[in-house]
A and B are shown apart, each in its own frame.
Chain A
Amino acid sequence: MSAVLQSLVNQPYKHGFVTEIESDVAPKGLNEDIIRLISAKKNEPEWLLTFRLEAYKTWLTMTEPKWQNVHYPSIDFQDISYYSAPKPKKKLSSMDEVDPELLRTFEKLGVPMHERAALAGVAVDVIFDSVSVATTYKQKLADVGIIFCSISEAVHNHPELIQKYLGSVVPVGDNYFAALNSAVFTDGSFCFIPKGVKCPMDLSTYFRINTEGSGQFERTLIIAEEGASVSYLEGCTAPRFDTNQLHAAVVELIALDDADIKYSTVQNWYAGDENGVGGIYNFVTKRGLAKGRNSRISWTQVETGSAITWKYPSCILRGDNSVGEFYSVAVTNNYQQADTGTKMIHLGKNTRSTIVSKGISAGHSNSSYRGLVRISPTAEGARNYSQCDSMLIGDQCGAHTFPYIQVHNNTAKVEHEASTSKIGEDQLFYFSQRGIDAEEAVSMIINGFCKDVFQQLPMEFAVEATKLLSFKLEGSVG
């Protein structure tokens, strides 16, 4: 069976094509002038330039972290182009005016934009190499008072919200890559759900890196006011290049009293070829602040792409009774590396968090779960349950677990469980005895293994994730 499966696993990267449109690329390198250039290009107000410059100064004083369980040649930050925008021919007033080449790209990707968007009922804010191209369903959302736009638009139209919240969850000096992002971020999504509004549809952003040698530094900010709720989807792809590309995004979520934010990611950046050449370095800072009482922040991620995935979507549970959730499936194959997990910082009383993490490693890949559960002295009656399971396919790969549990309050209840296993011969035998071939059996076993996480995904994403997973892993068992 291995030959058949082998051919399937070596399936070329589906989204690997370059769109030939004229890009407006800033010269490579990073200095104050580049930051001023980005700011000027985007016609930004003075306060944002100050924010960027401060972040840049902080970044200069920081050193690249070394503790992670991923290995990569050191990044030359002067060899990256920090701004790349499709050259706008004129101001866009409707979808029909969008560059047809661009639209074809999305068509190839199967992004449900334009008419196709209706099919999934999704409003897409498309980020194309850092600049938001078009936003759909804006009007429908505006009717209920929801602001959903690119962050550069928000800077002009809602500066008071941006000034209030930008950097409030992930401060500029939080970590090396967050500081870099704060200095050079080019675009991203902004979403504001006003008091008491339940967002009528799932919101979605589709990220894609197009220009070789450019970094993608997007910034996402989602605010849910009292009693509001929103489900946000993020999907990522990139064309294939032999050089490694850096993707250092920052995502900030803020949930006020009784608000509910659900953030789902399906990440399928280009992972490099079967020899580990090329691929995206996905170094992302994602953090949610459950600020209000009874607020809830839920992260769901399916990480299948990127040469290196290194991120910890986190929840700061400040409000009393707030809830943090983290559901993750991380699949690595060939020479991919993943060091991912979450941080649950319990500050408020009776805060609860759940962590379910499933790691699948195949080929020569390594995947690590690294998580922090911190119960502060103020978090009376806090509760955490963590479960992280790993599955190994083949004997060349590695699976690692690094849970940090820090408890400073004796009323807390913290539980952590982890296990490691492989697909058993007897399991496969059972399937074949029922007439199910090995390939399908593996796919079914893996889907069962990941079920707890997939259940958390919105419908369309769950389907996509299931498909992605079988693409990734076919051929690695045999």
Chain B
Amino acid sequence: MVINTDYLERSLELWPFTNTKPSSWLNQLRANAIDQASMLRLPTKRDEEWRFTDISALTHLPFRPSQPENIIHIGDVEHLFLKEAKIRLVFIDGYFSSSLSIFDPTSLTVGNLPMFLSSNSAYLESHLGRLAKYEDNVFTALNTAFLSDAAVVSIPKNAAVRDPIHLLFIATQNEVTSYPRCLLVCEEGSNITLVEEYIAHNNAKYITNSVSEFFLAPHANVKHIRIQRENLEAFHLANCAVSLDRASQYQSISISTGARISRYNQNVFLNDEAAECTIDGLTMISNQQLADTHSCIDHIKPHGTSYQQHKCIVNEKAHAVFNGRIVVRPHAQQTNSSQSSRNLLLSKTAQVNTKPQLEIFADDVKCAHGATVGQLDEEELFYLGSRGLSPATARSLLTYAFAAEVINRIPVTSLRQRLEQAILYQKSE
């Protein structure tokens, strides 16, 4: 416990905004968040929400907040870019890099925090920090307290952005904590595809503490692809909050393959009638990795629909955790919700903890969930063997098939192919 408070205390001590005043509301927000953070403590395995995820390892690390250092050349990271994306915002250790990004600075719909602050501060104020609650989440509180840069995407009414927008967060510095932040505001009837990607540039040890907030106005349609490919030394702690207005549609695909310890909290609020969300997830880990996904789909108003499918492929000594919570509030009648958690264990030492949770307070609803844990089917392996495939090929083919259900939903071709390759060439016991 003593060690635990150390990390938090160090972070609190290093808070840089004691005397700055970039914009009064923003300063107030940070000050509130740092106050809140100082009242919270780091979660331990004794907390129900963190039962299986031991983050005590990160408390031993003398990490300081990352600094803006733009030392990356475009040639070093070019391979990470998506050819389909016409708009790309690149952040190095949480700080915006204009030289690596492509966007139109004259159109004020996509940019970073300082740009929006100077031109449209009131707009930011009404959204930033409004959805990702930091009152009871120490990591969101810290992210908000250290908020100095952010990716801001604002899509005007009825605009349809055909090409995906790529938000690329690259980690480079050793022994730092970076605080990436995303804000997406989709006005009424708008339609976009957003790729949010976290990746390591080297083998640095670091903590990524990211927070994303998505606002979907009535009839907005958002496809959100989230890729987490941190290196195996990294800690990735992420919170994502999504608010759905009337008849809006949110489709999310989260792929998590990296980080020594990762934790992704995704909270989706169906705040008005007839909202619809599809939440898919794929975790693919090996070595000694631990990947924890906690999601909460909150049906607040009637006629909501949600589909969730989470898959884990766990190899070697890795450990996957899934906790999917579906809440149907009183009077959220005619809710239709389904959830499935499917897990594939590829080695004897792999483990998985899954907990699909239903909390239902309305009677006229259809809710179902299911969970399975298993290994590759011997008969299927035998069949492929009888067709002349080597055991290793057969295994990776079947593993691929298991993952394909999620991967195939990714609407960005180059990204999908990249992931397919990564899965097909993964070794299995």
Chain A residues within CB distance 8 Å of chain B: 67, 375, 377, 390, 392-422
- Interchain nearest-CB distance for A326 vs B (Å): 17
B368 A416 Cβ-Cβ under 8 A: no
Residue from B346, B348, B364, B371 in contact with A416 in the complex, judged by beta carbons closer than 8 Å: B371
Which of B265-273, B350-358, B392-400 forms part of the interface with chain A?
B350-358
Question: What's the Cα separation between A402 and B343 when bound, in Å?
Answer: 18
B330 A410 Cβ-Cβ under 8 A: no
Residues from chain A with a CB closer than 8 A to the CB of B354 are 405
B355 A405 Cβ-Cβ under 8 A: yes
Question: What's the Cα separation between A375 and B351 when bound, in Å?
Answer: 9
Closest to B343 in A: A407
Closest to B321 in A: A406
* Interface bracket on B: 35 or more
A406 B365 Cβ-Cβ under 8 A: no
- Interchain nearest-CB distance for B34 vs A (Å): 28
Interface string of B305-346 (1 = CB under 8 A from A): 000000000000000000000000011010000000101011
B351 A407 Cβ-Cβ under 8 A: yes
Interface centre among B331, B345, B371, B375 (most CB of A within 10 A): B371
Residues from chain B with a CB closer than 8 A to the CB of A377 are 348-349
Residues from chain B with a CB closer than 8 A to the CB of A417 are 368-370
Residue from A393, A396, A404, A409 in contact with B330 in the complex, judged by beta carbons closer than 8 Å: A396
B422 within 8 A of A: no
Question: What's the Cα separation between A392 and B348 when bound, in Å?
Answer: 41
Interface centre among A401, A410, A415, A422 (most CB of B within 10 A): A410
7 A-B pairs with C-beta separation under 8 A: A375-B373, A405-B352, A414-B372, A415-B372, A418-B356, A420-B358, A422-B363
Question: What's the Cα separation between A397 and B372 when bound, in Å?
Answer: 29
CB within 8 Å of A: which B354-393 residues: 354-375
Question: What's the Cα separation between A408 and B348 when bound, in Å?
Answer: 7
Residues from chain A with a CB closer than 8 A to the CB of B345 are 407, 409-410, 412
Residues from chain B with a CB closer than 8 A to the CB of A401 are 356-359, 369
Residue from A393, A402, A412, A415 in contact with B363 in the complex, judged by beta carbons closer than 8 Å: A393
A407 B352 Cβ-Cβ under 8 A: yes
- Interchain nearest-CB distance for B101 vs A (Å): 43
- Interchain nearest-CB distance for A160 vs B (Å): 40
Question: What's the Cα separation between A395 and B332 when bound, in Å?
Answer: 9
Closest to A400 in B: B359
Question: What's the Cα separation between A419 and B356 when bound, in Å?
Answer: 12
If A403-B356, A405-B355, A414-B374 touch, whether A395 touches B347 (CB-CB below 8 Å) is no
Question: What's the Cα separation between A392 and B360 when bound, in Å?
Answer: 9
Chain B residues within CB distance 8 Å of chain A: 48, 330-331, 333, 341, 343, 345-375
Question: What's the Cα separation between A407 and B366 when bound, in Å?
Answer: 28
B360 A395 Cβ-Cβ under 8 A: no
Residues from chain B with a CB closer than 8 A to the CB of A421 are 366
Closest to B345 in A: A410
Question: What's the Cα separation between A402 and B362 when bound, in Å?
Answer: 17
Residues from chain A with a CB closer than 8 A to the CB of B368 are 417-420
If A401-B369, A418-B370 touch, whether A410 touches B363 (CB-CB below 8 Å) is no
Question: What's the Cα separation between A420 and B351 when bound, in Å?
Answer: 29
Residue from A394, A399, A416 in contact with B370 in the complex, judged by beta carbons closer than 8 Å: A416
- Interchain nearest-CB distance for B312 vs A (Å): 10
Residue from A396, A405, A409 in contact with B353 in the complex, judged by beta carbons closer than 8 Å: A405
List 19 additional A-B contacts (Cβ < 8 Å) besides A390-B358, A405-B354, A418-B368: A400-B358, A400-B360, A401-B357, A401-B369, A402-B357, A403-B371, A405-B352, A406-B351, A406-B352, A407-B353, A409-B348, A411-B348, A413-B373, A414-B373, A414-B374, A417-B369, A418-B370, A419-B369, A422-B364
Question: What's the Cα separation between A398 and B359 when bound, in Å?
Answer: 7
B357 A400 Cβ-Cβ under 8 A: yes
User: Which 10 residue pairs of A and B lie closest in terms of their CB atoms, listed nearest first?
Assistant: A410-B345, A392-B363, A416-B371, A414-B373, A401-B358, A420-B367, A407-B373, A419-B368, A408-B351, A398-B361
If A412-B373, A415-B370, A418-B370 touch, whether A406 touches B353 (CB-CB below 8 Å) is yes
Closest to B330 in A: A395
- Interchain nearest-CB distance for B38 vs A (Å): 24
- Interchain nearest-CB distance for B368 vs A (Å): 4
A397 B343 Cβ-Cβ under 8 A: no
Question: What's the Cα separation between A233 and B48 when bound, in Å?
Answer: 35
B356 A412 Cβ-Cβ under 8 A: no
Closest to A412 in B: B373
A397 B363 Cβ-Cβ under 8 A: yes
Residues from chain A with a CB closer than 8 A to the CB of B352 are 405-407
